Copies of this chain bind each other. A is one copy, B any other.
Amino acid sequence: MIKVAIVGFGNIGKSVMEAVEASKDMELCGVIMRTQSLNKPQITLPVVDDVNKLAVKPDVAILCTPSRSIPEVAEVFLTQGISTIDSYDIHKDIWELRERLDIAAKKGGSTAIVSVGFDPGGDSVIRTLFEVFAPQGQTFTNFGPGMSMGHTVAVKAIEGVKNALSITIPLGTGVHRRLVYIDLLEGYTFDDVAAKIKADPYFCNDETHIYLEKDIDPLIDVGHGVSLVRKGVSGKAHNQQFEFSMKINNPALTAQVMVACARAALKQNPGAYTMIEIPVIDMLDGNKEDHIRRLV
Protein backbone atom coordinates (compact mmCIF):
# COMPACT_ATOMS: atom_id res chain seq x y z
CA MET A 1 0.00 0.00 0.00
CA ILE A 2 1.22 3.47 -0.87
CA LYS A 3 1.20 5.73 2.20
CA VAL A 4 -0.10 9.21 1.40
CA ALA A 5 -0.15 12.46 3.37
CA ILE A 6 -2.29 15.43 2.34
CA VAL A 7 -0.75 18.86 2.92
CA GLY A 8 -3.37 21.60 3.15
CA PHE A 9 -7.09 20.93 3.40
CA GLY A 10 -8.98 23.35 1.16
CA ASN A 11 -11.11 22.36 -1.86
CA ILE A 12 -8.32 20.36 -3.47
CA GLY A 13 -7.17 18.73 -0.23
CA LYS A 14 -10.69 17.46 0.47
CA SER A 15 -11.00 16.09 -3.07
CA VAL A 16 -7.59 14.42 -2.74
CA MET A 17 -8.86 12.65 0.38
CA GLU A 18 -11.81 11.29 -1.62
CA ALA A 19 -9.60 10.19 -4.52
CA VAL A 20 -7.15 8.40 -2.19
CA GLU A 21 -10.07 6.71 -0.42
CA ALA A 22 -11.26 5.47 -3.83
CA SER A 23 -7.78 4.05 -4.68
CA LYS A 24 -7.30 0.41 -3.69
CA ASP A 25 -3.49 0.66 -3.65
CA MET A 26 -3.27 3.62 -1.22
CA GLU A 27 -3.86 4.51 2.40
CA LEU A 28 -3.92 7.89 4.13
CA CYS A 29 -1.43 8.65 6.92
CA GLY A 30 -2.98 11.99 7.78
CA VAL A 31 -3.45 15.64 6.96
CA ILE A 32 -0.76 18.24 7.56
CA MET A 33 -1.98 21.80 8.19
CA ARG A 34 0.06 24.75 9.44
CA THR A 35 -2.96 26.53 10.88
CA GLN A 36 -4.72 23.51 12.27
CA SER A 37 -6.25 25.45 15.13
CA LEU A 38 -8.48 27.26 12.61
CA ASN A 39 -11.24 25.26 11.01
CA LYS A 40 -9.89 21.90 12.10
CA PRO A 41 -11.52 19.45 9.67
CA GLN A 42 -14.17 17.04 10.94
CA ILE A 43 -12.41 13.89 9.74
CA THR A 44 -11.19 10.69 11.36
CA LEU A 45 -7.64 11.10 10.02
CA PRO A 46 -4.75 12.39 12.14
CA VAL A 47 -4.33 16.15 11.62
CA VAL A 48 -0.87 17.50 12.52
CA ASP A 49 1.26 20.58 11.82
CA ASP A 50 4.48 18.67 11.05
CA VAL A 51 5.01 15.48 9.06
CA ASN A 52 7.24 14.10 11.82
CA LYS A 53 4.26 14.06 14.17
CA LEU A 54 2.50 11.43 12.02
CA ALA A 55 2.62 7.88 13.40
CA VAL A 56 3.46 6.51 9.92
CA LYS A 57 5.99 8.14 7.58
CA PRO A 58 4.30 8.77 4.20
CA ASP A 59 5.84 7.65 0.89
CA VAL A 60 4.36 10.66 -0.85
CA ALA A 61 2.91 14.02 0.15
CA ILE A 62 0.23 15.57 -2.03
CA LEU A 63 0.64 19.33 -1.68
CA CYS A 64 -2.66 21.23 -1.71
CA THR A 65 -1.31 24.58 -0.53
CA PRO A 66 -1.22 27.76 -2.69
CA SER A 67 1.20 27.77 -5.65
CA ARG A 68 3.46 30.43 -4.13
CA SER A 69 4.17 28.22 -1.10
CA ILE A 70 5.07 25.13 -3.14
CA PRO A 71 8.84 25.56 -3.71
CA GLU A 72 9.56 25.90 0.01
CA VAL A 73 7.01 23.32 1.23
CA ALA A 74 8.06 20.68 -1.32
CA GLU A 75 11.74 20.93 -0.39
CA VAL A 76 11.01 20.06 3.24
CA PHE A 77 9.43 16.75 2.20
CA LEU A 78 11.77 15.87 -0.65
CA THR A 79 14.95 16.24 1.40
CA GLN A 80 13.42 13.89 4.00
CA GLY A 81 12.91 11.23 1.33
CA ILE A 82 9.16 11.84 0.89
CA SER A 83 8.07 12.28 -2.73
CA THR A 84 5.79 15.20 -3.59
CA ILE A 85 3.01 16.04 -6.01
CA ASP A 86 2.01 19.67 -6.52
CA SER A 87 -0.38 21.57 -8.76
CA TYR A 88 1.87 24.64 -9.15
CA ASP A 89 0.11 26.69 -11.83
CA ILE A 90 2.34 29.70 -12.47
CA HIS A 91 3.14 28.63 -16.05
CA LYS A 92 6.13 30.91 -16.58
CA ASP A 93 8.03 29.51 -13.58
CA ILE A 94 7.38 25.77 -13.97
CA TRP A 95 10.83 25.02 -15.40
CA GLU A 96 12.51 26.88 -12.53
CA LEU A 97 10.43 24.97 -9.95
CA ARG A 98 11.38 21.68 -11.62
CA GLU A 99 15.09 22.65 -11.54
CA ARG A 100 14.91 23.64 -7.88
CA LEU A 101 13.02 20.54 -6.73
CA ASP A 102 15.26 18.27 -8.83
CA ILE A 103 18.16 19.15 -6.52
CA ALA A 104 16.13 18.56 -3.33
CA ALA A 105 14.69 15.27 -4.66
CA LYS A 106 18.07 13.86 -5.68
CA LYS A 107 19.46 14.86 -2.29
CA GLY A 108 16.65 13.02 -0.48
CA GLY A 109 16.34 10.06 -2.87
CA SER A 110 12.76 11.08 -3.59
CA THR A 111 10.70 12.18 -6.60
CA ALA A 112 8.73 15.35 -7.32
CA ILE A 113 6.12 15.62 -10.03
CA VAL A 114 5.36 19.30 -10.49
CA SER A 115 2.40 21.18 -11.98
CA VAL A 116 0.00 18.25 -11.91
CA GLY A 117 -3.75 18.64 -12.42
CA PHE A 118 -6.06 20.02 -15.10
CA ASP A 119 -3.90 22.73 -16.75
CA PRO A 120 -0.95 22.48 -16.25
CA GLY A 121 -1.23 18.69 -16.07
CA GLY A 122 -3.59 16.60 -18.19
CA ASP A 123 -3.85 19.37 -20.80
CA SER A 124 -0.03 19.46 -21.00
CA VAL A 125 0.08 15.77 -21.96
CA ILE A 126 -2.59 16.34 -24.63
CA ARG A 127 -0.79 19.41 -26.05
CA THR A 128 2.41 17.36 -26.30
CA LEU A 129 0.64 14.43 -27.93
CA PHE A 130 -0.96 16.80 -30.45
CA GLU A 131 2.57 17.86 -31.53
CA VAL A 132 3.56 14.19 -31.83
CA PHE A 133 0.59 13.75 -34.19
CA ALA A 134 1.27 16.92 -36.22
CA PRO A 135 4.60 18.63 -35.42
CA GLN A 136 3.73 21.71 -37.52
CA GLY A 137 0.58 23.74 -36.89
CA GLN A 138 -1.21 25.59 -34.15
CA THR A 139 -2.91 24.53 -30.89
CA PHE A 140 -5.54 26.61 -29.12
CA THR A 141 -6.49 26.08 -25.46
CA ASN A 142 -10.06 27.20 -24.80
CA PHE A 143 -11.12 27.19 -21.15
CA GLY A 144 -14.65 27.07 -19.81
CA PRO A 145 -17.44 27.67 -19.47
CA GLY A 146 -16.79 27.44 -15.77
CA MET A 147 -15.35 28.90 -12.59
CA SER A 148 -11.69 29.90 -12.77
CA MET A 149 -10.01 29.39 -9.39
CA GLY A 150 -7.04 31.63 -10.29
CA HIS A 151 -9.18 34.52 -11.53
CA THR A 152 -11.55 34.26 -8.57
CA VAL A 153 -8.62 34.50 -6.14
CA ALA A 154 -7.26 37.48 -8.11
CA VAL A 155 -10.57 39.37 -7.76
CA LYS A 156 -10.84 38.56 -4.05
CA ALA A 157 -7.40 40.13 -3.54
CA ILE A 158 -8.57 43.51 -4.87
CA GLU A 159 -9.28 46.18 -2.23
CA GLY A 160 -12.98 46.63 -1.48
CA VAL A 161 -14.03 43.14 -2.61
CA LYS A 162 -15.87 41.16 0.06
CA ASN A 163 -16.58 38.06 -1.99
CA ALA A 164 -16.19 37.23 -5.69
CA LEU A 165 -16.56 34.68 -8.46
CA SER A 166 -14.93 34.73 -11.90
CA ILE A 167 -16.38 32.64 -14.71
CA THR A 168 -14.40 31.96 -17.90
CA ILE A 169 -16.28 31.79 -21.21
CA PRO A 170 -14.44 30.41 -24.25
CA LEU A 171 -14.79 32.52 -27.41
CA GLY A 172 -12.62 30.13 -29.49
CA THR A 173 -9.01 30.33 -30.79
CA GLY A 174 -7.73 30.90 -27.25
CA VAL A 175 -9.74 34.09 -26.64
CA HIS A 176 -11.84 34.30 -23.46
CA ARG A 177 -14.58 36.42 -21.93
CA ARG A 178 -14.54 36.92 -18.13
CA LEU A 179 -17.75 37.24 -16.13
CA VAL A 180 -16.96 38.63 -12.69
CA TYR A 181 -19.49 38.73 -9.85
CA ILE A 182 -18.58 40.81 -6.78
CA ASP A 183 -19.96 41.67 -3.40
CA LEU A 184 -18.43 44.89 -1.93
CA LEU A 185 -17.18 45.86 1.51
CA GLU A 186 -18.84 48.96 2.98
CA GLY A 187 -17.36 52.27 1.88
CA TYR A 188 -16.36 51.13 -1.62
CA THR A 189 -18.14 52.02 -4.86
CA PHE A 190 -18.80 49.63 -7.70
CA ASP A 191 -17.22 51.86 -10.36
CA ASP A 192 -13.92 52.22 -8.48
CA VAL A 193 -13.58 48.49 -7.76
CA ALA A 194 -14.67 47.51 -11.29
CA ALA A 195 -11.99 49.80 -12.75
CA LYS A 196 -9.35 48.11 -10.58
CA ILE A 197 -10.49 44.65 -11.71
CA LYS A 198 -10.37 45.66 -15.38
CA ALA A 199 -6.81 47.01 -14.88
CA ASP A 200 -5.60 43.82 -13.15
CA PRO A 201 -3.12 41.68 -15.20
CA TYR A 202 -5.54 38.73 -14.94
CA PHE A 203 -8.26 40.71 -16.75
CA CYS A 204 -6.76 43.67 -18.64
CA ASN A 205 -6.33 41.74 -21.92
CA ASP A 206 -9.75 40.06 -21.96
CA GLU A 207 -13.34 41.17 -22.53
CA THR A 208 -14.46 41.51 -18.88
CA HIS A 209 -17.98 42.04 -17.57
CA ILE A 210 -18.46 42.87 -13.90
CA TYR A 211 -21.70 42.46 -11.98
CA LEU A 212 -22.65 43.50 -8.44
CA GLU A 213 -24.26 40.71 -6.42
CA LYS A 214 -25.51 40.65 -2.84
CA ASP A 215 -24.75 36.99 -2.37
CA ILE A 216 -22.09 35.13 -4.37
CA ASP A 217 -22.45 31.63 -2.91
CA PRO A 218 -25.70 30.68 -4.74
CA LEU A 219 -23.79 31.18 -8.04
CA ILE A 220 -20.92 28.83 -7.25
CA ASP A 221 -20.51 25.64 -9.28
CA VAL A 222 -17.05 24.09 -9.51
CA GLY A 223 -17.81 22.53 -12.89
CA HIS A 224 -15.35 23.59 -15.57
CA GLY A 225 -14.34 22.65 -19.09
CA VAL A 226 -11.65 22.91 -21.71
CA SER A 227 -11.35 22.34 -25.43
CA LEU A 228 -7.89 21.88 -26.95
CA VAL A 229 -7.92 22.27 -30.73
CA ARG A 230 -5.04 21.64 -33.12
CA LYS A 231 -4.87 21.84 -36.90
CA GLY A 232 -1.54 20.89 -38.39
CA VAL A 233 0.69 18.84 -40.64
CA SER A 234 1.66 15.15 -40.33
CA GLY A 235 4.59 14.46 -42.65
CA LYS A 236 3.47 16.37 -45.75
CA ALA A 237 -0.29 16.05 -45.17
CA HIS A 238 -1.90 19.33 -44.11
CA ASN A 239 -5.31 19.92 -42.52
CA GLN A 240 -4.96 17.20 -39.85
CA GLN A 241 -7.60 18.01 -37.20
CA PHE A 242 -7.48 17.17 -33.48
CA GLU A 243 -9.70 18.08 -30.56
CA PHE A 244 -9.77 17.13 -26.89
CA SER A 245 -12.51 18.36 -24.59
CA MET A 246 -13.68 17.70 -21.07
CA LYS A 247 -16.51 18.91 -18.84
CA ILE A 248 -15.65 18.13 -15.26
CA ASN A 249 -15.88 18.88 -11.56
CA ASN A 250 -12.58 20.78 -11.44
CA PRO A 251 -11.29 20.03 -7.89
CA ALA A 252 -12.24 16.34 -8.31
CA LEU A 253 -10.36 16.07 -11.63
CA THR A 254 -7.33 17.94 -10.29
CA ALA A 255 -7.22 15.74 -7.19
CA GLN A 256 -7.64 12.53 -9.20
CA VAL A 257 -4.73 13.40 -11.49
CA MET A 258 -2.57 14.29 -8.47
CA VAL A 259 -3.35 10.94 -6.87
CA ALA A 260 -2.50 9.11 -10.13
CA CYS A 261 0.82 10.96 -10.24
CA ALA A 262 1.53 10.10 -6.58
CA ARG A 263 1.48 6.47 -7.73
CA ALA A 264 3.67 7.25 -10.75
CA ALA A 265 6.20 9.19 -8.65
CA LEU A 266 7.16 6.05 -6.75
CA LYS A 267 8.02 4.31 -10.06
CA GLN A 268 10.54 6.98 -11.23
CA ASN A 269 14.21 7.50 -10.46
CA PRO A 270 14.87 10.27 -7.90
CA GLY A 271 14.50 13.76 -9.37
CA ALA A 272 11.83 16.21 -10.50
CA TYR A 273 9.53 15.72 -13.48
CA THR A 274 6.57 17.29 -15.22
CA MET A 275 3.66 15.06 -16.34
CA ILE A 276 4.84 14.99 -19.97
CA GLU A 277 8.03 13.24 -18.80
CA ILE A 278 6.15 10.34 -17.15
CA PRO A 279 4.85 7.24 -18.99
CA VAL A 280 1.04 7.39 -18.69
CA ILE A 281 0.84 3.69 -17.75
CA ASP A 282 2.75 4.47 -14.53
CA MET A 283 -0.20 6.60 -13.40
CA LEU A 284 -2.61 3.63 -13.30
CA ASP A 285 -3.14 1.16 -10.48
CA GLY A 286 -2.85 -2.51 -11.41
CA ASN A 287 -0.92 -4.88 -13.57
CA LYS A 288 1.08 -3.75 -16.62
CA GLU A 289 0.11 -6.77 -18.73
CA ASP A 290 -3.61 -6.20 -18.01
CA HIS A 291 -3.37 -2.52 -18.95
CA ILE A 292 -1.55 -3.26 -22.20
CA ARG A 293 -4.01 -6.00 -23.17
CA ARG A 294 -6.99 -3.75 -22.42
CA LEU A 295 -5.88 -0.26 -23.46
CA VAL A 296 -3.31 -0.53 -26.30
A12-63 CB contacts (< 8 Å) to partner B = 15-16, 18-19, 21-23
Interface flags for A266-296 (1: CB within 8 Å of B; 0: not) read: 0000000011111111011100110111011
A6 at the binding interface (Cβ < 8 Å): no
Number of interface residues of A (CB under 8 A): 67
Is A237 an interface residue, CB under 8 A from the partner? yes
Residues of B within 8 A of A98 (CB): 292
* 16 pairs from A and B in contact (CB 8 Å cutoff): A15-B237, A19-B235, A91-B296, A94-B292, A95-B289, A126-B129, A128-B280, A128-B283, A132-B283, A133-B246, A134-B256, A135-B284, A235-B256, A240-B252, A276-B280, A277-B281
List B contacts of A128 (CB < 8 A): 280-281, 283-284, 291, 295
Contact A122 B115 (CB under 8 A): no
Contact (Cβ within 8 A) A122 B133: yes
Q: Is A152 an interface residue (CB 8 A)?
A: no
A244 interface residue per 8 A CB criterion: yes
Contact of A260 among B126, B132, B292 (CB under 8 A): B132
Helix, strand, loop or mixed for chain A's interface?
A: helix
Q: Which residue in B19, B134, B274 is a CB contact (below 8 Å) of A292?
A: B274
Extra pairs beyond A128-B284, A132-B257, A234-B255 (15, CB < 8 Å): A15-B237, A19-B236, A22-B135, A120-B296, A128-B280, A128-B283, A128-B291, A134-B253, A135-B256, A135-B260, A135-B285, A235-B252, A242-B245, A242-B248, A277-B288
Q: Which of A64-110 contact B (CB under 8 A)?
A: 91, 94-95, 98
A241-B247 contact, Cβ under 8 Å, with A131-B284, A131-B295: yes
Which of B131, B233, B243 touches A245 (beta carbons < 8 Å)? B243
**A249 CA / B241 CA spacing, docked (Å):** 9
Query: Of B133, B135, B252, B278, which contacts A234 at CB under 8 A?
Result: B252
Q: Do the beta carbons of A274 and B255 come within 8 Å of each other?
A: no
With both beta carbons as reference points, the residue of chain B lying nearest to A16 in the complex is identified as B235
Task: List 8 tightest A-B contacts by C-beta distance, closest first.
Answer: A237-B252, A19-B235, A234-B256, A18-B235, A237-B249, A234-B252, A124-B296, A18-B236
Complexed CA–CA distance, A296 and B89 (Å): 10
Whether, in the assembled complex, A125 has its beta carbon less than 8 Å from a beta carbon of chain B, the answer is: yes
Which parts of A218-269 form the interface with B (CB within 8 Å)?
233-237, 239-249, 252-253, 255-257, 259-260
In the complex, what distance in Å separates the CA atom of A202 from the CA atom of B280? 31
A177 within 8 A of B: no
- Is the CB of A127 closer than 8 A to any CB of chain B? yes
Q: Which residues of B contact A120 (CB under 8 A)?
A: 296
For A246, list chain B residues within 8 Å (CB): 133, 240-243
